[in-house]
């Protein structure tokens, strides 16, 4: 007697990622798990993303206007028939057994609401040193958080359809932090894990300004949720790493003191810098082992900028939280989160 395997609906939200979309879809078509349906939700792309998907014979659902990744995921779920939903960003290529492993983990634990992948330390497409920095940094922060988490990683994750229906759709009002909000909501009722058993490669940001701008916005947008929870998410964003970011910002802020007071004043930014470095000492050792001392110097300089940017974004978010009642309600449960009916199926 043949064992019944649940249908998996793999949903790929996409906006102008034609280059990596081809790699993503080929990786999904090479999955060892069957049965699986593959759906690309094209969120108003202006490149040839739709043609890429259609050349590979993948079903495409198109939005009438750009909705953001939260809305695209919701629309994909509305068109999905599977008992298991797998969300895969179009700049991610999962390993061939990723879906099979994730489904097995969900089947083994009915209380598990989501299984999230850990990306490799090498980028999917090697475009720049910035991207190599980001791949290493992101891998280390996620791998060191392996296990139970409350911070959702939806770039490659699997969840039962019943859990999605229970928790509700992604909050379409959140363009930057929908994953933090969803993870918070999901872990009120279910478990969630981050695991190296489900592997993937990610085409990370390859421009420094683009990366810093994204981290600045995300840092500020997290403030209302963390102010309400009064604690950090479990996994990834730890109090230790937050302290490292704040120390980096303090080092920059203390530079005028060093100028005014000379060598005596220089002790203050030097101390703050040392605290920032110690907060991520394990990561620096990891990078040194993989890439050597020369790349570590580059990595450390970029990571210092990242830490300063994150802390500055949080500081701006705190200021906004103090003066804006609307911002303080950003994560209120009564916000409209319904998936848009806009979109048409095409093959």
| DSSP line for 87-129 | EE-TTEEE-TTHHHHHHHHHHH-TTEEEEEEEE-SS-SS---H
Dist CA 124 CA 89 (whole Å): 12
- For 127, counting Cβ atoms within 10 Å of its Cβ (0-12 exposed, 13-18 middle, 19+ buried), the class is middle
Query: Rg for the chain (alpha carbons), in Å?
Result: 21
- Tens of pLDDT, residues 236-260: 667 788 889 999 999 999 888 777 7
Q: Say if residue 72's pLDDT is above 90.
A: yes
Contact 195, 115 (CB under 8 A): yes
More confident residue, 263 or 296: 296
Contacts of the segment 224-229: beta carbons below 8 A, 24+ positions apart: 224/317, 224/321, 224/327, 224/328, 224/329, 224/330, 224/331, 225/177, 225/180, 225/181, 225/184, 225/330, 225/331, 227/321, 227/328, 228/331, 229/184
CB-based contacts of 180, cutoff 8 Å, min separation 6? 151, 152, 222, 225, 233
Handedness of CA 53, 59, 63, 69 (dihedral sign): negative
* DSSP code, position 333: T
Residue bearing tokens 């930057």: 176
**Which ranges in 144-280 belong to alpha helices (H)?**
161-167, 178-186, 208-221, 223-229, 239-253, 255-261, 263-279
Question: What length is written for the chain?
Answer: 347
Contact 150, 191 (CB under 8 A): no
Instruction: Tell me which residue of 231, 52, 201 sits closest to 120, measured CA to CA.
Output: 201
Instruction: Tell me which residue of 45, 91, 40 sits closest to 65, measured CA to CA.
Output: 45
Contact 212, 306 (CB under 8 A): yes
Q: How far is CA 50 from the centre of its chain?
A: 24
- Tens of pLDDT, residues 132-183: 999 999 999 999 999 999 889 999 999 999 999 999 999 998 888 899 899 9
Tokens of 88: 């895969």
Q: For a pLDDT cut of 70, what percent of the chain falls above it?
A: 92
Look up the pTM and report it.
0.90
Query: Side-chain half-sphere of 52: how many Cα atoms within 13 Å?
Result: 24
Place 336 in a pLDDT band, splitting at 50, 70 and 90.
very low
- Tens of pLDDT, residues 79-127: 999 999 999 999 999 999 999 999 999 999 999 999 999 999 999 999 9
Q: What is the pLDDT of residue 278?
A: 94
Q: How far is CA 341 from the centre of its chain?
A: 25
Tokens of 21: 């979309």
Q: Say if residue 207's pLDDT is above 70.
A: yes
More confident residue, 57 or 262: 57
CB-based contacts of 315, cutoff 8 Å, min separation 6? 249
- For 189, counting Cβ atoms within 10 Å of its Cβ (0-12 exposed, 13-18 middle, 19+ buried), the class is exposed
Q: Say if residue 342's pLDDT is above 70.
A: no
Residue bearing tokens 């981290």: 215
Tokens of 292: 């050597």
């Amino acid at each position: 007697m043949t064992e019944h395997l649940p249908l998996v609906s793999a949903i790929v939200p996409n906006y102008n990622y034609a280059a990596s979309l081809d790699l993503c879809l080929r990786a999904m078509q090479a999955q060892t798990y069957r049965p699986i349906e593959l759906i690309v939700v094209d969120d108003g792309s202006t490149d040839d993303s739709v043609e890429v998907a259609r050349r590979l014979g993948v079903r495409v659902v198109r939005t009438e206007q750009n909705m953001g990744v939260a809305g695209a995921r919701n629309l994909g779920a509305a068109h999905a028939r599977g008992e298991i939903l797998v969300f895969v960003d179009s700049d991610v290529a999962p390993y061939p057994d990723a879906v099979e492993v994730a489904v097995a983990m969900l089947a083994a634990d009915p209380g598990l609401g989501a299984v999230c992948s850990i990306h490799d330390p090498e980028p999917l497409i090697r475009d720049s040193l910035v991207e190599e920095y980001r791949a290493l940094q992101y891998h280390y922060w996620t791998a060191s958080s392996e296990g139970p988490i409350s911070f959702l990683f939806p770039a490659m994750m699997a969840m039962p359809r019943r859990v999605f229906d229970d928790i509700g759709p992604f909050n379409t009002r959140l363009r930057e932090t929908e994953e933090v909000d969803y993870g918070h909501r999901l872990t009120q009722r279910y478990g969630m894990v981050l695991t190296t058993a489900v592997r993937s490669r990610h085409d990370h940001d390859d421009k420094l300004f683009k990366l810093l701008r994204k981290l600045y916005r995300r840092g500020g947008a997290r403030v209302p949720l963390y102010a309400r929870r009064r604690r950090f998410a479990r996994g990834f964003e730890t109090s230790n790493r937050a302290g490292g970011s704040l120390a980096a910002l303090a080092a920059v802020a203390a530079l005028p003191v060093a100028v005014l007071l000379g060598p005596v004043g220089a002790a203050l930014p030097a101390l703050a810098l040392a605290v920032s470095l110690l907060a991520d000492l394990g990561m620096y050792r990891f990078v040194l082992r993989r890439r050597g001392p020369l790349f570590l110097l580059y990595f450390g300089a970029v990571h210092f900028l990242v830490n300063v940017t994150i802390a500055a974004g949080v500081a701006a978010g705190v200021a906004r939280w103090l003066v804006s009642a609307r911002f303080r309600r950003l994560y209120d449960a009564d916000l409209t989160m319904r998936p848009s009916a806009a979109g048409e199926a095409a093959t």
